[in-house]
Structure 1
Amino acid sequence: MGARVVRMFRNFNLENRVHREISKEKPRVAPRHAANPPPSAGSSEAVETAESVNLKHDPLLSLLRSVYVESTDPEAAKQPSSSSSSVSEEAERRPLKFSLPGDLHGLVELTDVPKGKLTIAEALKALSSHQREPQTCTPEKIAQDFSLDLKDTKALLEFFMPFQVQMIPPKTENVKKIKAS
């Protein structure tokens, strides 16, 4: 019902209102910016510009000739012979100190890891032993046992706390609880 009333007022005297808007004087358009017309192909300016582009500039040309760039492939410099690379790979790996028993999620059991890295099981073992006995299991000892950087070991022990559980009690005693059925 309300839509009918609104439509009647909207369409009331529509034709007269349209004629009044059309007969109004239109606003003037802003003047355009005066732009220089592009030079034609036959003008003297275009010919001079084309000649200056094609001219050789001797001082710049001599500077360009003085530039010398020497480039070497960084991979070729890093890779020694194939026999010594296998020896360095063996030296950079360490045997696994601790692993969880059983086949975890179908993953292949690791036998060694790169130096400076830990498996999840080793990290959890090191963190729990440090948390239980901080006097005997110091960051220096952990870094030495697992071939880690001392700075990284200290940061790991300071910022990673997997076994810290905090229970936050409710603010009021009148909290609604879900009843088990």
Structure 2
Amino acid sequence: MGARVARMFRNFNLENRVHREISKDKPRAAPRHAAKLPPSAGSSEAADSVTQKSAPLLDLLKSVYVESSDPAAAEMTKEVPAAKEEERRPTRFSLPGDAYGLVELTDVPKGKLTIVEALKALSSHQRQPHTWTPEKVAQEYYLDLKDTKAVLEFFIPFQVQLIPPKTENAKKIKDS
């Protein structure tokens, strides 16, 4: 109820008050402070200072000598020694068809494996650890023995672990 009364007094004679405010003279803006403006690009002083030669600056410019060379061009002229080129070996295994959208590789650098070869080596070692020892895998794929031992020890593909349920009546997967 109080809001209605307040709104009535607030809106009382609103149009007359608005017209009175609009018809008042506008206040004048304060005068701006007189300041010296910077020389514009079209002024004669700026044009003269740009075209004028300065003898001391010209002497300093003549004393500067710059010699540059392109390091990329120097590297391109050097020939790569044949000993540093990577030796390559043919791939041992490949997937039939399009291998997951990857380009079929025919050879790889020594010391590297394709995904298919890595999975084949890991699964062979997992199935037959006495036959496929780390030394044999390293020799077969031209790998470093230390890296091969680390990969075979810490990377175990296709290992399935069944976590027992918390309750006895939960459904279990039967081992076959």
Per the alignment, residue 137 of structure 1 pairs with 133
- Output one character per residue of 1:30-88: Cα deviation in whole Å (capped at 9) or x when no partner: x98987523044454x2564257x5444334423x1x32233253442468xxx8xxx9
The gaps in structure 1 that reach 5 residues or longer are 1-8, 177-181
Name the TM-score, length of structure 2 as normaliser. Answer: 0.50
- Output one character per residue of 1:10-48: Cα deviation in whole Å (capped at 9) or x when no partner: xx949828955993999xx9x98987523044454x256
Matched ranges for 1:99-178 at <5 A: 99=94, 103-105=96-98, 111-132=106-127, 133=129, 137-138=133-134, 141-149=136-144, 153=148, 156-157=151-152, 160-168=155-163
Q: Is residue 16 from structure 1 mapped to residue 11 from structure 2 by the alignment?
A: no
Per the alignment, residue 69 of structure 1 pairs with 68
Q: How far apart are the structure 1 equivalents of 2:168 and 2:13? A: 71
- Aligned-pair RMSD on alpha carbons? 5.3
Rg comparison, structure with higher value: 2
Inter-CA distance 22–93: structure 2 relative to 1 (3 Å threshold): farther
- Residues 130 and 137 of structure 1 are in contact (CA less than 8 Å); yes or no, is this contact kept in structure 2? yes
Matched ranges for 1:91-106 at <5 A: 92-99=87-94, 103-105=96-98
- Output one character per residue of 1:74-126: Cα deviation in whole Å (capped at 9) or x when no partner: 3442468xxx8xxx98x7221333445xx323898765433233222211122
Q: How far apart are the structure 1 equivalents of 2:169 and 2:12? A: 65
Tell me the amino acid that sits aligned with residue 78 of structure 2: A
Inter-CA distance 39–97: structure 2 relative to 1 (3 Å threshold): same
Inter-CA distance 60–147: structure 2 relative to 1 (3 Å threshold): farther
Q: How far apart are the structure 2 equivalents of 1:167 and 1:22? A: 86
The gaps in structure 2 that reach 5 residues or longer are 1-6, 172-176
- Output one character per residue of 1:143-166: Cα deviation in whole Å (capped at 9) or x when no partner: 332123456546644664321223
Inter-CA distance 61–95: structure 2 relative to 1 (3 Å threshold): same
Count residues in correspondence: 151
